[in-house]
Structure 1
Amino acid sequence: MPPAPPPAPTSGDSPDAPPEVLTEGALGRALLMAVLASGAALRIHWALNDEGLYWPDEVYQSLEPAHRLVFGYGLVAWEFVEGARNWALPGLVAGVLGLARLFGGTNPAVYLDVIKGFFALLGVATAWGSWRLARAYGASELAATAGASLFALAAVPIYFAPRALSENASALPVVLGLALALPRGSSRRAVLAGASLLGLAVLLRLQNGVFCVGLLGVLVAQRRWRAAGESLAVLAGWAFAYGLLDRLTWGRWFHSARVYLDFNILRDGASAWGTAPFSYYGRVFFQGMPAVALLTGGLALLAARRAPGLLAVTALFFLLHALQPHKELRFLVPALPLFAALAGVGLDAVLASWPPRFARVAAMGVVAVATVSGAKAGSLTFGDVGQYEDSRPGASAWDDSGDVNRLLLAASRRQDLCGLKIEVVHLAWTGGYSYLHQPVPLYPHNGPPRGSGLYSHVITLPGYAPGEVVAQSGPLVLSRLREGCVPDPGYAWRLP
């Protein structure tokens, strides 16, 4: 029997490949490095130059409980009173915070930058995961890179990137898990590793269970019975880990999942923070990055023939969130790298019949659209990201409450601080003890009066600061009212 013929060379991998294929492969790799480096630079820039909040969850469901784990004190939100969240995300943030502390990063200005930088770089890794997912579905390096740029360089993903949110933490295991487990040609080891990553994603954010159900559904639809059974066993193991974590921390198996689902599904409690119509996500994505939204959506649809399972799973996640009354743009962050990967696959399907020269121009055009979006990220308003649409849609989405947080950082350096009141904003829209980093009472705007003597400093407006102004940020000041404080034995660490 004659020997089997050697495998066909892949783009750019064989020295015998035609020069034009070599050029395309080299261009794809060089462009990928440039896209990831640019995405990292934009994310790190905003991580170091924004002290604002998009929503209190980025502090009180991650930074603040992590601060309590590492340093022993912090404000406690209702979710960590009733147990509506598990401790996976705070544990992850506490690990980063603990490493920063181990290497001398006990100054909040330092460890906060480390945490934000960590999440920013996690976003860069997620962009690479988007490229990897597109490649798993046969997209060329150039087309996959162009698709990944729609996540790496686009304005909305850049805006959310540095924030310590469960959506950001779980996006990477979601995209890598699907890249490993979903394509038909995946090995048994890849399927098991992918299912495990999806299980981890659920541990970080419960809603990612939709991707697990989607994976099993696709495997069954493809009649990959063994892969479906083994994936189910792996996911069951992660479900056990989820329940065990709740048992160890809250005292009851799956306690956080039960409380969360009861509050959000049975009681529709999240609607108290606002509701929006089915069209919300499509409209807001178009407002925040119109060219990227149109391009991503159109190219993703063109991937339907080559990646029907991936498109179905991504569409299911989108649809279920669009059907929920309470909507926030961040909820779809785990799906954004999937849409970008689909765009890469769709682009490759189009470019396959084009001459190489025109294909390269088209791919570079996609990257250019994403680059322009990222360059304009600094002009995003709250209306562009779907937040506070009824109250201040034209306000900048960046550095909201940043002045308060910078004054909290200034207060953290005061040796004469024995208590602090923030008079200008609700405590939920501040950085809390993660920024203050002193175990002294922190009072809300409706807290005890100045005459109580319970606090020595106040964050307020200049005209309402009778004491010594010791720091200023924007229109706000940190004012020293007195020396010493009256002890407050009844001080509660509960976030009001």
Structure 2
Amino acid sequence: MPTVPTPAPTAGAPLLAASTEPRLARALLGAVLVAGAAFRIHWALNDEGMYWPDEVYQSLEPAHRLVYGYGLVAWEFIEGARNWVLPGLVAGVLGLARLFGGTEPGVYLDVTKVFFGLVGVASAWGSWRLARAHGASELAAAAGAALFALAAVPIYFAPRALSENASALPVVLGLALALPKGASRRALGAGASLLGLAVLLRLQNGIFCVGLLGVLAAQRRWRPAGEALAVLAGWALAYGLLDWLTWGRWFHSALVYLDFNVLRDGASAWGTAPFSYYGRVLFKGMGAVSLLAGALALLAARRAPGLLAVAALFFVLHALQPHKELRFLVPVLPLFAALAAVGLDSVLEGLGARTPRAMAALAVVAVATASGLGAGRLTFGDVGQYEDSRPRVSAWDDSGDVNRLLLAASERRDLCGLKIEVAHLAWTGGYSYLHQPVPLYSHNGPSRESGLYSHVITVPEHAPGEVVARSGPLVLARLRDGCAPDPGYAWRLP
């Protein structure tokens, strides 16, 4: 019987055996996600610090009010500049913890931080899914996912209860479902719905919705564009209805937010930065990852032009805004990781042979892993915060000593009022950490002689009476037994 010749591989086709590469790719993806989860859980359980007050007063504190009935109220929740989706999500986590007995702040705060960290891991899987939807091989997609799962900057932000973290997952999954040319009607509807949800979590994610519609229109996919527009319109209606139910006016939070940030440029009061800010800070915070991801993303221009355009649009529009914070880019980082995977796949196709392909993918993962291992060395200068005042101070555990003493105060049965003499309340964990419905005063609050509080958080040399807890250079001290009533106490964040 004549021997049937084995067909020669086509140019650029992978030579790694079909039974080998998928196993390697799946093992690599699993390892990346497990390591990403380990990094995030470690920092969730070992950092009580703050990057910016929003991670408490736009999420944890209003959620605490929903679940436990009290908490400080930021101006956004007085004037209605935020909707209630993010606090509602966090309240769901707090409520679930409460259902299972987690009513102590040390418990429900850890649960919340771990939850947000795992959302970040799911977003890394979303990068893998988005890369696969644009034709990347499993091996390239797994390596690309590492650029989000294991990189220092995403790890730093991951455990924080911020709208950027919560919305990154529906953004990346929504585009993975809706953006590919072969998307079914069901996938398109689900993807557009996820993007609509992302807008409810963070208004700026509307850029992704506009980007999706723009790509569909540019590809002359008019029917999918119309269907996506109809779904997004439904979510816009839900946004307006929620505001009407909670604030009494259709789209109230969006209108107040846009008036403050766009018409009045109110956010510039917290600082401005030039167009180059994001590129500079990303390079400082994770230089090798940023250079590698950027170069590979450019290689994806031919195979994923729509995705690249959407990601670039989000980046450029944020770079054009005067007030900048690195966290604002978190929703787009999984997209750049997916683009890097698509670009890497083009590189792997050129390598062809089994060993170079595997080594190239592992090299990308190694770069990301090195970044994640160095995350503990991040300073505020590396994450673009407080650059003019304390750029060399560690970005981790800022205000952590105050927050640990708030946790200690939460266990004091003799507590009837507390003053934090060393910090403004905005840079503390508030009632989310204190978890007692007693007056809480800022550094510029009533004097000790007022009798309105029984305990103070201060420095040891100024500590009166009995020191009952210590954390770093600070102490929790008891002034007196009992407190005078304060009928004028306001729950508004000063």
The secondary structure found in structure 2 opposite 1:22 is coil
> Paired residue for 2:492?
494
Map residues 285-296 of structure 1 onto 2, 5 A cutoff: 285-296=282-293
The CA deviation at 1:322 is 0.1
Give the Cα separation in 2 of the matches to 1:446 and 1:18.
Answer: 69
**Which whole-Å CA distance do the structure 2 matches of 1:50 and 1:404 have between them?**
12
Give the equivalent residue in structure 1 for 2:4: none
Of the three residues 368, 371, 379, the one matched with 2:369 is: 371
* Aligned counterparts of 2:257 and 2:297: Cα–Cα separation in 1: 32
Q: Does 1:111 align with 2:93?
A: no
| Other-structure match for 2:452 | 454
Partner residue in 2 for 1:20: 17
2:430 matched residue in structure 1: 432
Q: Letter of the 2:396 partner, please give it.
A: W
- Is contact 2:141–2:341 with CA below 8 Å preserved after alignment? yes
Paired residue type of 1:53:
M
Given the alignment, which residue of 393, 398, 407 partners 2:396? 398
> Are residue 246 (structure 1) and residue 235 (structure 2) matched?
no
- The equivalences for 1:88-167 within 5 A come to 88-167=85-164
Q: Give 3-state SS (helix, strand or coil) of 2:182's partner.
A: coil
CA deviation after TM superposition for structure 1 residue 329, in Å: 0.1
Unaligned stretches of 5+ in structure 1?
A: 1-16
**Matches of 1:488 and 1:465, distance apart in 2:** 23
Please give the alpha-carbon distance, in whole angstroms, between the structure 1 residues aligned to 2:72 and 2:54: 13
Shift of residue 351 of structure 1?
Answer: 1.1
Pair 1:388 & 2:382 matched: no
d(CA) in 1 for partners of 2:186, 2:119 = 24
In the alignment, the residues of structure 2 paired with residue 263 and residue 43 of structure 1 have an alpha-carbon distance, to the nearest angstrom, of 34
Aligned to 2:165: 168
1:443 to 435, 441, 444: 441
Structure 1 distance, partners of 2:423, 2:346, is 52
Name the SS for the 2:452 alignment partner: coil
User: In structure 1, what is the Cα distance between the partners aligned to 2:15 and 2:390?
Assistant: 57
Q: Secondary structure, in 3 states, of the residue corresponding to 1:21?
A: coil
Q: By how many angstroms is 1:19 displaced?
A: 6.9
Question: What is the match of residue 8 of structure 2?
Answer: none
Deviation at 1:21, TM superposition (A): 2.3
Report the 3-state secondary structure (helix = DSSP H, G, I; strand = E; otherwise coil) of the residue aligned with 1:479.
strand
Q: Report the AA paired with residue 261 of structure 1.
A: L
Answer with 356-365 or 374-383: which moved more.
Answer: 356-365
Q: Deviations 1:292-327 (Å, cap 9, x if unpaired)?
A: 000000000000000000000000000000000000
Look up the SS of the partner of 1:478 in the other structure.
strand
CA–CA distance in structure 2, aligned partners of residues 334 and 84 of structure 1:
21
Which residue matches 2:233?
A: 236
Distance in 2 (alpha carbons) for counterparts of 1:282 and 1:219:
29
Contact 2:275 2:319 in 1 (8 A): yes
Aligned counterpart in structure 1 of residue 467 of structure 2, from 469, 478, 481:
469
SS across alignment from 2:18: helix
Pairing 1:324–2:321 present: yes
Give the Cα–Cα distance (whole angstroms) in 1 for the partners of residues 295 and 261 of structure 2.
33
Match of 1:13 in 2: none
Give the superposition deviation at 1:69.
0.3
Any residues of structure 2 matched to 1:329-368 within 5 Å, and which? Answer: 329-354=326-351, 355-368=353-366
Residue in structure 2 matched with residue 4 of structure 1 by the alignment: none
In 2: Cα distance, 1:296 partner to 1:265 partner: 31
The CA distance in 2 between the partners of 1:293 and 1:216, in whole Å, is 28
Aligned equivalents of 2:362, 2:389: Cα separation in 1? 39
Match of 1:422, as an amino acid? I
Q: What RMSD, in angstroms, separates the aligned Cα atoms of the two structures?
A: 0.8
In 2, Cα distance between equivalents of 1:60 and 1:399: 17
Q: What's 1:417 paired with?
A: 415
The reply on whether 1:186 has 2:189 as its aligned counterpart is: no
State the TM-score, normalized to the length of structure 2: 0.97
- Trace 1:190-269 onto structure 2 (pairs within 5 A): 190-269=187-266
Contact map agreement 2:174 2:193 (CA 8 A) in 1: yes
How far apart are the structure 1 equivalents of 2:350 and 2:456?
67
Query: What letter is aligned with 2:464?
Result: P
Q: Is the 8 A contact 2:419 2:443 kept in 1?
A: yes
* Structure 2 CA distance for aligned equivalents of residues 430 and 341 of structure 1: 36
One-letter amino acid of the structure 1 residue matched with residue 36 of structure 2: G
1:315 paired to 2:300: no
User: Distance between the aligned counterparts of 1:399 and 1:107, measured in 2?
Assistant: 20
Q: Distance in 1 between matches of 2:133 and 2:99?
A: 39
Residue aligned with 2:396, SS? coil
Deviations 1:127-160 (A, max 9, x none): 0000000000110111001111000000000000
| Structure-2 residue corresponding to 1:7 | none
How many residue pairs align between the two structures?
A: 480
Q: Distance in 2 between matches of 1:189 and 1:481?
A: 64
Structure 2 counterpart of 1:103, one-letter code? F
Which AA in structure 2 matches 1:466? P
Distance 1:134 1:22 in 2: 21
Residue 18 (structure 1) shift: 8.2
Question: 1 CA distance for matches of 2:378 and 2:264?
Answer: 33
In the TM superposition, what whole-angstrom CA distance separates every residue of 1:8-52 from its partner, at most 9, and x where no partner exists? xxxxxxxxx987222111100000000000000000000000000
SS at structure 1 position matched to 2:350: coil
Aligned mates of 2:368, 2:347 — CA distance in 1: 19
Pairwise CA distance, 1:359: 1.2
* Native 8 Å contact 2:16 2:354 kept in 1: no
* Residue 67 of structure 2: aligned partner: 70
Where 1:472 maps in the other structure, the secondary structure is strand
How far apart are 1:356 and its partner, in Å?
A: 2.4
Write out the 4+ residue segments of structure 1 that deviate beyond 4 Å after TM superposition.
Answer: none
**Sequence identity, in percent?**
83
